[in-house]
């Protein structure tokens, strides 16, 4: 397997070296001003639309939602202005509003009523996520419901798996993640998304789903998930900050790109249907390498810190919200993302409904 990934990386590098020189593109001389004028194809919106190489569409976007215990709750998250904690009854109503905007896919995160060292509420059939799945699917059968599969929101210590002393025990965590994924599928989830970064978790989840009869439930793997500073607002929203240490022992080192290709290849071999790079904007180079190397359906997570930065600049009048958001999401898609998980999805949908054009 190591030899295979080395050959793929070498092939990619060889392809770049064999790319035609700029002066001979399409067999024509370039830079021959005034015969060649690049501005001709930028003169009007119609022409720009016709020749645009990358287009962003609402069907590219997945919207994350945070579900909490209780009823009648719509509570704004301080570190994520414009994003909310939703109780189960309200999240179904919100899903209907989103559907009217044209959003067709949701990613659910849950905050339990209580936590314990194992995170047992993660696979409880009456926990907020499982209840939310049933409520949303009852109201909107065609809405694609994806669920995050991790234990960090559910464990009392805030780490993503079972602890042995002060270490996350990889192999002891796998059956807990598999049990969680099956409980989500049983509640009606269309797709599960393991974000824990344990080795072997995609295979463990795929086997558990198949054995439970959920052979059609897809897996979107957080394959290249980096240990990033850009998760801060999310950890506040999900109450998932570790009580000691950090997650660098299982999430990826930000300096590594070739390692991301190995992670993706392993997840593919274990049964991932979609692979992911997270975060998005600081890792566009990784996203492009993943897409070029594997040609797999590829997601990118435009994470909470990326959202919060633009939102803070917009609130201070430093950026125009619509054009900054659109440019950011377009850049993620141009880098290779087929799917983009983003907190901006409802705003983008509303702007498009209004007839706004970038």
Catalytic residues: 225, 278
How many CA atoms does the CB half-sphere of 65 hold within 13 Å? 32
Both tokens assigned to 197: 């970064």
SS3 category, 20: coil
Cα–Cα distance between 290 and 288 in angstroms, integer?
A: 5
Q: Rg (Cα) of the chain, in Å, rounded? A: 22
Cis preceding-peptide flag for 325 (omega within 30 of 0): no
How many CA atoms does the CB half-sphere of 16 hold within 13 Å? 9
Cα–Cα distance between 99 and 93 in angstroms, integer?
A: 10
DSSP 99-162: HHHT--EEEEEE--S--BTT-GGGG-TTSHHHHHHHHHHHH-TTSEEEEEE-STTTBTT--SS-
Give the bridge partners for 340, in sequence order.
Answer: 61, 300
SS3 category, 46: helix
Residue 300 and residue 61 in contact, taking contact as beta carbons nearer than 8 Å: no
Sign of CA dihedral 110, 116, 122, 126: negative
Cα–Cα distance between 222 and 195 in angstroms, integer?
A: 5
DSSP 323-335: HHHHHHHHHHHHT
């Amino acid at each position: 397997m190591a030899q295979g990934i080395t050959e793929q990386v070498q092939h990619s590098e060889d392809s770049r070296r064999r790319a035609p020189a700029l002066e001979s593109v399409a067999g024509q001389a370039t830079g021959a001003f005034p015969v060649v004028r690049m501005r001709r194809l930028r003169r009007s919106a119609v022409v720009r639309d016709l020749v645009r190489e990358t287009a962003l569409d609402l069907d590219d976007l997945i919207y994350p939602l945070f579900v909490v215990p209780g009823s009648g709750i719509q509570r704004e998250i301080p570190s994520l202005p414009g994003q909310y904690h939703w109780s189960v009854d309200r999240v179904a109503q919100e899903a209907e509003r989103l559907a009217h905007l044209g959003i067709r896919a949701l990613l659910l995160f849950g905050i339990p009523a209580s936590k314990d060292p194992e995170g047992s509420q993660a696979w409880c059939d009456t926990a907020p996520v499982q209840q939310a799945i049933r409520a949303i699917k009852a109201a909107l059968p065609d809405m694609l419901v994806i669920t995050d599969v991790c234990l960090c929101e559910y464990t009392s210590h805030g780490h993503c798996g079972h602890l042995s002393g002060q270490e996350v025990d990889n192999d002891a965590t796998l059956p807990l993640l598999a049990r969680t994924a099956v409980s989500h599928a049983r509640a009606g989830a269309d797709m599960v998304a393991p974000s824990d970064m344990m080795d072997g978790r995609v295979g463990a989840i795929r086997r558990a789903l198949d054995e439970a009869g959920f052979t059609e439930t897809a897996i979107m793997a957080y394959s290249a998930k980096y240990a990033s500073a850009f998760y801060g607002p999310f950890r506040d929203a999900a109450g998932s900050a570790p009580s000691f240490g950090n997650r660098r022992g299982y999430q990826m080192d930000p300096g590594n790109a070739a390692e991301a290709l190995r992670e993706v290849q392993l997840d593919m071999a274990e049964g991932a249907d979609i692979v992911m790079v997270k975060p998005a904007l600081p890792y566009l180079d990784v996203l492009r390498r993943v897409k070029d190397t594997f040609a797999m359906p590829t997601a990118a997570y435009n994470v909470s810190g990326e959202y919060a930065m633009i939102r803070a600049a917009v609130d201070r009048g430093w950026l125009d919200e619509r054009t900054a958001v659109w440019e950011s999401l377009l850049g993620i898609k141009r880098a290779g993302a087929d799917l983009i998980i983003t907190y901006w999805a409802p705003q983008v949908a509303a702007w498009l409904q209004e007839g706004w054009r970038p």
